[in-house]
């Protein structure tokens, strides 16, 4: 990761908020992009084989092949909060007609392409109706020959809340319900719609913010190099994760 990118991109996001920028007072407490920046930057800096690998390896879901690669390649992964913007219809000449997809983070290397979608720790936090289907479409289109997964970072385990839908749903069911609409208005995908619908479950992983904090705290306590300064540095970074999750949980 470009070490300046997380804070710089967070500031860029905030700069577009207009009058709603007031929501970022109190150090952005309760705002999912602030939480994502704080936690993922710490995960990037902490010893990867101990913390990031443990977090990714503890995720739930059926994307077992992707999870194994994420763990094995933890040291070489490129972790980017607020990464590239993708489009369902990138060749549209009218900019306003282009349908953007903005994942909260990307995790990738030569073998894996993972998009991360994070939700704030807040009662009623919900996904937009087509959000997961759009990200799933882009993920499977842009990955090429790499293994893929969509990693959800949630306030609680699924089912999840979707705007405009009363009942909570499993993420794969949300994708299957809305993907046909996304597929119809997007530019061609190399895979057939039926194939994407059938395989939705096998590309999904999820973990909660509290699980991340607990894992990082545990790994930091057990970490020891014999160098007091290095060990103290790791524990300070780990405490920033716990503190961030705790602060955003009290919103």
- For residue 240, report the phi and psi dihedrals to the nearest 5 degrees: -65, -35
The residue count for the chain? 251
CA distances (Å), 133 to each of 6, 44, 121, 164, in order? 26, 27, 22, 15
In which domain, by residue range, is 9 found?
5-249
pLDDT tens per residue, the chain (251 residues)?
A: 444 478 888 988 888 888 889 999 998 999 999 999 999 999 999 999 999 999 999 999 999 999 999 999 999 999 988 878 899 999 987 877 899 999 999 999 999 999 999 999 987 789 999 999 999 999 999 999 999 999 999 999 999 999 988 899 999 999 999 999 999 999 999 999 999 999 999 999 999 999 999 999 999 999 999 999 999 999 999 999 999 999 999 86
What element of type H or E holds 131?
A: helix 131-142
Q: What angle do CA 202, 180, 175 make, to 5 degrees?
A: 35
Domains in the chain: how many in total? 1
């Amino acid at each position: 990761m470009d070490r300046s990118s997380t804070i710089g991109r967070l500031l860029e996001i905030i700069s577009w908020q207009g009058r709603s920028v007031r929501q970022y007072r109190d150090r952005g407490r309760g705002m999912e992009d602030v939480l994502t920046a704080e936690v993922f930057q710490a995960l990037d800096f902490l010893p990867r084989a101990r913390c990031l690998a443990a977090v990714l390896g503890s995720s739930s879901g059926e994307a077992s092949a992707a999870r194994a690669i994420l763990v094995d390649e933890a040291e070489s992964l490129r972790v980017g909060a607020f990464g590239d913007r993708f489009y369902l219809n990138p060749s549209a000449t009218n900019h306003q007609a282009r349908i953007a997809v903005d994942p909260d983070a990307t995790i990738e290397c030569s073998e894996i392409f993972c998009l991360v979608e994070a939700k704030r720790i807040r009662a009623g936090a919900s996904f937009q109706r087509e959000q997961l289907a759009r990200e799933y479409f882009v993920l499977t289109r842009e990955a090429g020959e790499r293994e893929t997964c969509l990693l959800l970072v949630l306030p609680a385990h699924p089912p999840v809340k979707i705007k405009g839908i009363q009942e909570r749903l499993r993420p794969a069911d949300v994708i299957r319900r809305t993907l046909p609409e996304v597929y119809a208005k997007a530019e061609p995908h190399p895979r057939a719609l039926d194939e994407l619908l059938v395989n939705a479950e096998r590309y999904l992983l999820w973990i909660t913010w509290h699980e991340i904090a607990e894992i990082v705290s545990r790994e930091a306590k057990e970490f020891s190099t014999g160098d007091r300064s290095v060990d103290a540095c790791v524990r300070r970074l780990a405490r920033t994760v716990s503190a961030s999750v705790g602060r955003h949980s009290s919103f």
